[in-house]
Structure 1
Amino acid sequence: MHYFIVEKDKSSDYTGIINGSHKWGLPGVISCPACKATWGDNSRTYPSADLTSVAALADFEEARAEPIEEYERLRDLVRPLLPPEAQLDPGTALGPIVGSAQGRFGPLVSPDPWWLLVQREALEKLQAEGLRGLKGCRTQLRFRQRNAPELLELELLSAGRLHTDCLPPNRQPPCPRCGRFGLTLPKTRLLDAATVPPHVDVFRLEDFSTVIVCTENFVNACQRLGLDGVAFHPLPVSR
């Protein structure tokens, strides 16, 4: 099996622009007691999360950093509302994208490297091809035009890791308390074959959540169906 990194197709003539953010989110962490880092990363998203039943909903509406005990309390509070395998790092974004959109969008849309949206018709075509793990979630985008498309955000579960051969030899392991993996994304990337999931055709890397990866089955289906808007870059795999 071959794998590819999914990114915005900068050569396309689509003009679509999205200005928005996810409705809720976990706070970042202030000075983790274990690694001393202050950080948060909203590139990991779970758009299917519905927090409306949470009593203290305001705790999830403002982006901020908190002491780690508060982050852990809020993380544990919403965990039952998320997929069982959800990776809930500090700053994780939750719920639908809320905001405005305008312009002409392709069947596939990547307004940020860590978001992947799809028009409903395109998603239905891909699902009909038998592709695995494609879950489209509604957005709350206001369009400034007639005949606006229905854009859904794909919920990308964390799976797969880069191989140690493309990482610094003197790297530190993830923080045992907050989970911070303080490495810069390497320019040369190698996917660890032993960590690749067998049950999904598009996913987000566990260790570098800004990277979206898909299988050759996903690429072939998009090309066969004429679904454009994103570019596919080969990702070497360790054997």
Structure 2
Amino acid sequence: MTYYEVQSSPASRWSGTLRAKRRWALPGLEDCPGCHATWSGVLEYPAVDLSDLPEAHELEEVRPEHWPEYSRLLELVRPYCPPGAHLEPGTGFGPLVGSARGKWGPVTLVDIASLLVREDAIHTLSGLNLTYVWPQLRRPPSPRIAEIHLAPLGRLAPECSQSDQETPCAVCGRDGGLLPQHYWLDAASIPADTDAFRLTDAATLVIVSGRMADRINDLGDSDIMLTPIGTTKPPNFQPPKPLNADGVGIVIRRAPSDI
């Protein structure tokens, strides 16, 4: 199986824009008791419906929470998710809710993580293993747009990581790693019948199968690029070097007036 990374094209052909957010989301985590980080991820499960969860209203406000409250809400949500679903602070659920404007291309990547398909393009993608979720828009475009559910499934190959990369937090799971300069997929982590997904350890990457890439190309001009991503180590690959003893890549210095 071949795979492609989906990226937004720098040259836009279409004018479609979206102002929307998930109907529900886990809160971010404030001051994790394990790693002391305050953070929120970008994982999303558009096809997970929390309408029957009595406490669903507690997931409508974006906010950070301390561990006891976060973990309580996490356990309330888990039974509504697929078995073994990867969940983290800030994980979104349900359809996008908001408004859309302009003319939409056949396939569009919105806000890094949402892959939208124009209604008349769905027929070309028939036969692929895809789940569609219809955004709840005040003024839907014509033709309408559907979102492809991108389950977090695969992982990057272990060799991509720096040798000194910190161990994931035993409490919240945060690993603090950056996307490596050179990366490829761990083929064993990807179910064979998967056509569109994101990665559990690099959630900003949207991946499609080669057969789906062929269908997307058949649709004509879209505001996306499809870049091949391998499943084997590239020739002449050099392992990432550990960080130096200073341990920082970016230093932010405040002006004296800010101190």
RMSD: 1.8
CA distance in 1, matches of 2:135, 2:219: 24
Runs of 5+ consecutive residues of structure 1 not aligned to the other structure: none
- Output the amino acid matched with 1:207: D
Partner of 1:184: 178
Deviations 1:85-135 (A, max 9, x none): 4221110011111111111101111111111111223223212xx222x00
Task: Please identify, of 117-126 and 209-218, the stretch whose mean Cα deviation from structure 2 is larger.
Answer: 117-126
Count residues with an aligned counterpart.
Answer: 233
Q: What SS does the aligned partner of 2:151 have? A: coil
- Output the amino acid matched with 1:157: A
Partner of 2:114: 115
CA distance in 2, matches of 1:178, 1:227: 41
Deviations 1:169-225 (A, max 9, x none): 101222121111211112322212222221201110010111111111111122234
8 Å CA contact retained: 2:107, 2:216: no
CA distance in 2, matches of 1:17, 1:74: 32
Partner of 1:100: 99
1:37 aligns with 2:37: yes
CA distance in 2, matches of 1:236, 1:8: 19
By how many angstroms is 1:13 displaced? 1.0
Q: What SS does the aligned partner of 1:184 have? A: coil
Q: 1:46 to 1:189 in 2, by over 3 A?
A: same
Partner of 1:165: 159
Partner of 1:131: 128
TM-score (norm 1): 0.90
CA distance in 1, matches of 2:183, 2:232: 10
Partner of 1:63: 62
CA distance in 2, matches of 1:64, 1:75: 14
CA distance in 1, matches of 2:66, 2:191: 34
Q: Which one has a bigger Cα radius of gyration?
A: 2
8 Å CA contact retained: 1:85, 1:157: no
8 Å CA contact retained: 1:107, 1:119: yes
8 Å CA contact retained: 2:100, 2:139: yes
Runs of 5+ consecutive residues of structure 2 not aligned to the other structure: 234-259
8 Å CA contact retained: 1:40, 1:89: yes
CA distance in 1, matches of 2:49, 2:191: 26
By how many angstroms is 1:57 displaced? 2.7
Task: Please identify, of 115-124 and 210-219, the stretch whose mean Cα deviation from structure 2 is larger.
Answer: 115-124
Q: What SS does the aligned partner of 1:48 have? A: coil
CA distance in 2, matches of 1:15, 1:224: 21
By how many angstroms is 1:22 displaced? 0.7
Partner of 1:215: 209
By how many angstroms is 1:18 displaced? 0.6
Partner of 1:149: 143
CA distance in 2, matches of 1:49, 1:131: 20
